[in-house]
């Protein structure tokens, strides 16, 4: 910012001419009084100009004539700019949902529970698009993997490499001997895939898609498929609930023949969020109703009956897992120690991840 100079009234050009005239008259009178009128006096330098004279050592020195009386200069005080504090706005939880894991200003995991008039309830665990990577793991007994080179990355326990980014885990589908569908991993078919069967497809980079295999753009054109897990026919397809949802027998054999047994499902919404649903006592229609209300457009039933239902979440990447489904029987570290059935590990992805 430029300096501001304040000028007194009358200190302009006319004022300087008047001062010069007065000074000349006074000098003439002084010379007449002293009798030294023959000594010529050098003219004064203009205000603010530099004059050069020699010092006693003979070297030139530069001095500046004094500023005329009556002029003032105002020097502005130094200014200090304090940068505004930077804050990161916290994401807002969606009404009805409870945030489980919020990391680096992003909601990674949230949950919601639906209650039904008959006393049943369904809990949803949602993994937000762009924040997760999905890894498929084979169980020690199912799907059958004889002759298949199983590595730590897809074996029956969550690997040490996955643990620092682990934000959740959930169960897979029926035992493959029931004829519920096929399994593929890393380009190798463990159980033949069935066209039209509901499929959870994981692509390179860990993004996921749910839909009928070989139909409705499943698998996506040009994408590298890493794993496929099929289970029955779609529970929800293109936003429409299966017309067979009321036929309980079509969705697996219940323990002790009780229709409202423990059930699970998984689906995706239009944003690409992955939603796991489970209950320790629910009908297939309960799962479909909760998922559809949450905006899921494609879904499939996963395993059923109490011993196999497992949904776990962490409050931060790499944190301790805790049970997400009220009443689930298996401890939250089951998939860390190793399990007999297939399951999925959910890992935190870096910001901007698209797979």
Q: Which has the minimum average pLDDT: 51-60, 77-86, 124-133, 134-143?
A: 51-60
The secondary structure of 276-341 as a DSSP string is EEEESS--HHHHHHHHHHTTEEEEEEEEESGGG--EEE-SSTTPPPEE-STT-SS-TTHHHH--SS
At 350 the pLDDT is: 83
The secondary structure of 102-158 as a DSSP string is EETTEEEEEEEEEE-TTS-EEEEEEE-TTSEEEEEE--SSSS--TTS---TTTSSS-
**pLDDT average, residue stretch 226-247:** 98
Residue with tokens 């505004």: 84
At 76 the pLDDT is: 52
β partners of residue 348: 132
**pLDDT average, residue stretch 129-147:** 96
Q: Is residue 29 part of a domain?
A: no
Q: What is the longest distance spanned by two Cα atoms in the chain?
A: 138
At 200 the pLDDT is: 99
At 89 the pLDDT is: 66
Band the pLDDT of 355: cuts 50, 70, 90.
low
β partners of residue 278: 123, 264
Q: Which residues does 273 contact at the CB level (< 8 Å), separation at least 6?
A: 126, 127, 128, 129
Residue with tokens 């001095």: 63
d(CA 14, CA 70): 14
Q: Which has the minimum average pLDDT: 46-60, 111-125, 179-193, 231-245?
A: 46-60
Band the pLDDT of 271: cuts 50, 70, 90.
very high
d(CA 57, CA 76): 39
At 91 the pLDDT is: 82
**pLDDT average, residue stretch 295-304:** 98
Print the domain residue range for 344: 120-348
Q: Is residue 320 part of a domain?
A: yes
Q: Is residue 89 part of a domain?
A: no
At 84 the pLDDT is: 53
Residue 222 has pLDDT above 60, yes or no: yes
At 60 the pLDDT is: 38
pTM of the model: 0.76
Q: Is residue 43 part of a domain?
A: no
At 354 the pLDDT is: 57
Q: Is residue 79 part of a domain?
A: no
Nearest residue to 132 via CA among 44, 53, 182, 205: 205
Q: Which helix (H) or strand (E) holds 26?
A: helix 13-34
- Percent pLDDT > 90 in the chain is 70
Q: Structural domain tally of the chain?
A: 1
d(CA 305, CA 309): 7
3-class state of residue 270 by DSSP: coil
d(CA 200, CA 218): 10
**pLDDT average, residue stretch 225-247:** 98
Residues 23-78 have pLDDT tens digits of: 333 343 333 333 443 333 333 333 333 333 433 344 333 334 444 444 444 545 55
Q: Is residue 195 part of a domain?
A: yes
**pLDDT average, residue stretch 87-103:** 86
Residues 2-28 have pLDDT tens digits of: 333 333 333 333 333 333 333 333 343
- Percent pLDDT > 70 in the chain is 74
Give the count of beta carbons closer than 10 Å to the beta carbon of residue 186. Answer: 13
How many Cα atoms sit within 13 Å of 308 on the Cβ side?
A: 23
At 351 the pLDDT is: 76
| DSSP annotation of 86 | P
- Find out whether 128 and 106 touch, Cβ atoms under 8 Å: yes
Average pLDDT of the chain is 82
Residue 255 has pLDDT above 80, yes or no: yes
- Find out whether 341 and 171 touch, Cβ atoms under 8 Å: yes
d(CA 200, CA 211): 7
Q: Is residue 59 part of a domain?
A: no
- Find out whether 170 and 344 touch, Cβ atoms under 8 Å: yes
At 31 the pLDDT is: 32
Q: Is residue 166 part of a domain?
A: yes
At 353 the pLDDT is: 58
């Amino acid at each position: 910012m430029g300096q501001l100079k304040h000028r007194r009234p009358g200190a302009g050009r006319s004022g300087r001419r008047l001062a010069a005239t007065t000074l000349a008259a006074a000098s003439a009178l002084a010379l007449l009084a002293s009798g030294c009128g023959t000594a010529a006096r050098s003219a004064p330098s203009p205000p603010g100009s530099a004059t050069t004279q020699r010092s006693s050592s003979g070297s030139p020195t530069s001095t500046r004539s004094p500023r005329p009386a009556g002029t003032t200069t105002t020097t502005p005080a130094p200014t200090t700019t304090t940068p505004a504090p930077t804050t990161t706005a916290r994401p807002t939880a969606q009404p009805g949902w409870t945030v489980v894991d919020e990391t680096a200003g992003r909601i990674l995991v949230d949950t919601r529970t639906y209650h039904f008039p008959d006393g049943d309830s369904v809990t949803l665990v949602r993994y937000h698009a762009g924040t997760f990577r999905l890894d498929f793991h084979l169980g020690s007994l199912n799907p059958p993997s004889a002759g298949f080179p199983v590595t730590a990355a897809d074996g029956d326990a969550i690997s040490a490499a996955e643990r620092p980014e682990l934000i959740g885990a959930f169960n897979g589908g029926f035992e493959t001997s029931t004829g519920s569908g096929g399994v593929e991993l890393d380009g190798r078919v463990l159980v033949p895939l069935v066209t039209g069967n509901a499929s959870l497809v994981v692509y390179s980079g860990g993004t996921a898609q749910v839909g009928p295999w070989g139909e409705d753009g499943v698998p996506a054109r040009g994408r590298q498929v890493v794993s496929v897990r099929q289970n029955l026919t779609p529970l929800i397809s293109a936003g429409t609930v299966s017309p067979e949802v009321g036929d309980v027998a079509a969705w697996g054999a219940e323990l002790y023949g009780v229709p409202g047994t423990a059930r699970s499902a998984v689906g995706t919404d239009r944003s690409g969020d992955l939603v796991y649903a489970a209950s320790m006592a629910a009908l297939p229609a309960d799962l479909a109703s909760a998922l559809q209300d949450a905006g899921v457009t494609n879904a499939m039933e996963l395993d059923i009956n109490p011993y196999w239902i497992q949904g776990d979440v962490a409050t931060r990447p790499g944190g301790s897992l805790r049970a997400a489904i009220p009443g689930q029987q298996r401890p939250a570290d089951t998939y860390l120690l190793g399990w007999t059935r297939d399951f999925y590990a959910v890992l935190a992805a870096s910001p901007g991840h698209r797979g």
